[in-house]
Chain A
Amino acid sequence: MSIEVSRAHDIVDKALDYRAIRQDMIASNIANADTPFYRPRDISFQETLMAKKAEIFNDAKDKLELAQTDSSHIPLQHEKDSSRATTFYRDGHMARNDGNSVDLDVETTEMSKNSVMFNALVMARKKSSSIFKSVLEASSKTS
């Protein structure tokens, strides 16, 4: 068990993870901008992070889950799988003649949004760490 300073740290760390994965996925969409039959893919960031947040903060479930009242019921596998990040195909646009539907404008915009948000999260993480650091420094002076 690690020392828990703030549970908000966990969610910022998770958000950083997902931003890094999104960066990979957008980079691969751009790399495949001329591959025949390639469909751009992305991770549904908000949804995944909200699920993670509910898990970290132990939020009450906003929907009633199906209960397994008898041992002979088929276990609800998909309920357990819901913590996994979900991906989707970003098919908003007409495919080209070669079946490729990558839109470079959309991908580059999403990428700069993603990296700005990543940097913002890093800043937030640093700021909140510095609060605890200053408390530690102050306590070492008083003793």
Chain B
Amino acid sequence: MSFLNSFDISGYGLSAQRVRVNTISQNIANAQTTRTEEGGPYRRKEVVFKAIDFNEQFNKALGESTNSAKYEDPLDEGHFGKKVNPAIMSVVVDKISRDDRDPKMKFDPAHPDADASGYVAYPNINPVIEMADLVEATRSYQANVAAFESSKDIANSAISLLQ
């Protein structure tokens, strides 16, 4: 089971980066949105990642659903019960935070959402920043794909030992 850990870790990385890409797309799509359900213009959203101890999470799930033996960290040879520091870490999306900076005010008295002095509040979104973030997220996604391919390569060659 521990051999396929890196598959899961890369998979979590893929899903986290995909959430990030989705959020950035949402920001770009809503760059001109002046009406939202909570009122006011659209607010920019940002994804915050968090590193989690993979083995700890795995053991928790294992303990809840089965009564199998606990999975011990392979780095911990003959030192069961002691925690290896640093542990193997995976990644999850911790939260999606809202960017509450002041909206961009644009003078447009003809707009239906213009205030008394004729200014319209537009979302404070810079497309250049969003595109740079998007490229970064895409590259990270590709790096995770490369990691996954390499793990698969390793697993297949270990399986070939049986032949």
Q: List 6 A-B contacts (CB under 8 A).
A: A17-B74, A30-B144, A32-B90, A84-B77, A108-B143, A122-B161
How many residue pairs link A and B with beta carbons under 8 A? The number is 126
Q: Is B112 an interface residue (CB 8 A)?
A: no
Interface of B is mostly: helix
Contacts of A26 in B (CB 8 A): 147
Contacts of A34 in B (CB 8 A): 16-17, 20, 49, 136-137, 140
Contacts of B13 in A (CB 8 A): 27, 30-33
Interface string of B119-163 (1 = CB under 8 A from A): 000000000000000001101100110111011011001101100
Q: Are the CB atoms of B10 and A84 closer together than 8 Å? A: no
Contacts of B78 in A (CB 8 A): 83-84
**Interface stretch (choices A35-43, A57-65, A134-142):** A35-43
Separation in Å of the B30 CB from the closest CB of chain A?
22
Query: Contacting B146 at CB < 8 Å: which of A35, A43, A108?
Result: A108
Q: Is B114 an interface residue (CB 8 A)?
A: no
Interface of A is mostly: helix
Q: A30-B13, A104-B143, A119-B153 are in contact. Are A126 and B161 (CB under 8 A)?
A: yes
Candidate in B6, B85, B91, B144 with the most chain A CB atoms within 10 angstroms: B6
Closest B residue to A120 by beta carbon equals: B157
CA distance A84 to B79 in the complex (A): 8
* Contacting residues of chain A (84-130) with chain B, CB-CB under 8 angstroms: 84-85, 87, 89, 104, 107-108, 111-112, 114-115, 118-119, 122, 125-126
Contacts of B136 in A (CB 8 A): 34
CA distance A28 to B85 in the complex (A): 14
Q: Are the CB atoms of A35 and B150 closer together than 8 Å? A: no
